């Protein structure tokens, strides 16, 4: 995954952290219970993790592909959060271990639709039966593309997501749209 300097600055800014805490995560996780073991895929600089750390009722684990970001998160949280350095397309985590798996504004950084589908299958694998996979991502637009110049940028067409989640094994996938974002949730039977 690559990110240009502006995108790095934006994702590490107070402005983004405030938007995540007051708008994006409350909307993305509306009616989603995070009471027990929760896994966040792709926390990056940790703006979403900071919110989740106060929202989850159980143990929070994060899986981060970038080694430097994983180390920064370990330094910030110590043993309060399990930080795992690894790829969401091949998670070094046990089957059926989590009650919830979440990811926020990171799917478009997965390098191909095939790898995105692998990530969905891995999220399914690490969930317990009855567990929920939920999150949000940006919708393709010229503005979204400009933020991602010279980045890895593979937006997920929201209209394709229900079928892709079903193919991974999920039941009852649901999608909600905003002008710039979509949210999703699906359940492992």
Q: What are the average pLDDT values for consecutive 10-residue runs of the chain, which has 189 residues?
A: 69 80 96 93 94 90 96 94 97 97 96 98 98 96 75 93 98 95 97
CA angle 41, 2, 160 (to 5 degrees): 55
d(CA 172, CA 185): 8
Looking at residue 35, its pLDDT comes to 82
Looking at residue 164, its pLDDT comes to 98
CA 86 to each of CA 3, 8, 21, 57, 101: distance values in angstroms, whole numbers, following the listed order: 18, 20, 25, 24, 15
Question: Global pTM?
Answer: 0.93
């Amino acid at each position: 995954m690559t990110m240009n300097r502006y995108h790095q600055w934006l994702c590490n800014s107070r402005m983004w952290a405030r938007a995540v805490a007051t708008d994006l995560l409350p909307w993305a996780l509306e009616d989603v219970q995070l009471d027990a073991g929760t896994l966040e895929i792709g926390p990056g600089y940790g703006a979403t993790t900071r919110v989740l750390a106060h929202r989850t009722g159980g143990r929070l684990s994060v899986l981060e592909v970038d080694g430097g970001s994983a180390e920064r998160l370990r330094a910030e949280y110590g043993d309060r959060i399990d930080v795992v350095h690894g790829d969401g397309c091949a998670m070094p985590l046990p089957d059926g271990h989590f009650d919830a798996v979440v990811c926020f504004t990171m799917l478009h950084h997965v390098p191909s639709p095939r790898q995105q589908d692998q990530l969905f299958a891995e999220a399914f694998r690490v969930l317990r039966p009855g567990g929920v996979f939920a999150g949000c991502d940006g919708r393709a637009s010229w503005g979204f593309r400009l933020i991602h110049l010279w980045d890895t940028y593979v937006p997920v067409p929201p209209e394709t997501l229900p079928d892709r989640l079903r193919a991974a094994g999920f039941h009852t996938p649901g999608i909600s749209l905003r002008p710039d974002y979509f949210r999703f949730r699906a359940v492992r039977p």
